[in-house]
Structure 1
């Protein structure tokens, strides 16, 4: 249950403001919300099953302590990635093909290498289990993208989520720092190393948050 709830919680955070959530908003401006939700669910089940197998079987070749350190660092990376923000990388959405398979293919490809997929790999490696993490991350994606689908279906445009993204990023970074403190050898955790790491992290947050973001308009659904 711990693996399931942790996976659900962190994937919800990772998906807030992510490009795949924006993609769900965009699809919902073209298609019925039921179709979009079904396509997102199917794509997530396939994609995250692939991710948890990768994360689970890593432990057979790499010592667990190294994987835990890498997973902790990755959560800090997810936090910085969340601050940076995502865009859809293009203009209007095309709405002319089979709705379900269009959503499935678009969402599956967008999730490949995305931070929510990488978070799934990290969680599977950390808990060394498949089914609870798979179900937890899938549930988290459906909850987060359900928000996007509802927004797209009712408003037909992207809803700014700056406060939510900063809250999500803060939780990720705090979790990553705490996990690093537990996982790293004590002889490494000297005062200069800790201070230097925090200064570097603060500088990265400052630089990333200063980056100008481009928002793309989404086509409204034609009734």
Structure 2
């Protein structure tokens, strides 16, 4: 259950102001059809995060516990720094294909999420918790918690979100996870 809760919280916070959230705002403004946009975001996130968690799970089979602890600890600390760098929507991400609302959203979200902070976080969380299902469920819920309001409320909430504060909180959580992982706190506490 810890894997689910941590994954949900970290991704929900990391996603605020992320380029995929900006993409959700853009798609909502362009198409004004929230249900197929939300369905496509869910499908793209499940596909993308399942792939990322599979890589994280696979990495744990390759590395010994000590090497894995250092790789994960340093990865979480790097994520803490990366989360503080504001995202911008690339022109390539903003180009909208002419495949209909669902397919356009699915393709745009899947491509925007490749190599994104939340995908990398999913890899690291799956490697840390050895829990493919709960990490994918948590990271997907976190994405939906951040992006569904963006789709439905759009411009009404975009300017009111304390993005810098949210990013600082997410960075602090990543930093705590990194330090705890490096110090071996998980093994000492029984997880």
- TM normalised by structure 2 equals 0.85
- Call closer, same or farther: CA 1:147–1:179 in 2, change over 3 Å: farther
Q: Secondary structure at the match of 1:29?
A: helix
- Call closer, same or farther: CA 1:158–1:34 in 2, change over 3 Å: farther
Q: Aligned residue for 1:149?
A: 151
Q: Which 4+ stretches in 1 moved above 6 angstroms?
A: none
Q: Relative to total residues, which structure has the larger helix share, 1 or 2? A: 2
The 5-angstrom pairing of residues 142-221 of structure 1 reads: 142-152=144-154, 154-155=155-156, 161-182=163-184
Q: Aligned residue for 2:77?
A: 76
- TM normalised by structure 1 equals 0.74
Q: Where does structure 1 lack aligned partners over 5 or more consecutive residues? A: 184-223
State yes or no: 1:10 paired with 2:10. yes
Structure exhibiting the larger radius of gyration computed from Cα positions: 1
For 1:5 and 1:175, locate their aligned partners in 2 and report how far apart those are by CA, in whole Å: 13
The 5-angstrom pairing of residues 84-95 of structure 1 reads: 84-90=85-91, 94=96
Preserved contact between residue 21 and residue 146 of structure 2 (Cα < 8 Å) = yes
CA deviations 1:188-212 (Å, max 9, x no partner) are xxxxxxxxxxxxxxxxxxxxxxxxx
Preserved contact between residue 113 and residue 119 of structure 2 (Cα < 8 Å) = yes
- Call closer, same or farther: CA 1:12–1:165 in 2, change over 3 Å: same
For 2:165 and 2:152, locate their aligned partners in 1 and report how far apart those are by CA, in whole Å: 19
Count of matched residue positions in the alignment of Structure 1 and Structure 2: 182
Preserved contact between residue 30 and residue 95 of structure 1 (Cα < 8 Å) = no
Q: CA RMSD in A?
A: 2.2
Higher mean C-alpha deviation, range 33-42 or range 11-20: 11-20
For 2:153 and 2:77, locate their aligned partners in 1 and report how far apart those are by CA, in whole Å: 28
Q: Where does structure 2 lack aligned partners over 5 or more consecutive residues? A: 186-191
- Call closer, same or farther: CA 1:157–1:140 in 2, change over 3 Å: closer
Preserved contact between residue 59 and residue 125 of structure 1 (Cα < 8 Å) = yes
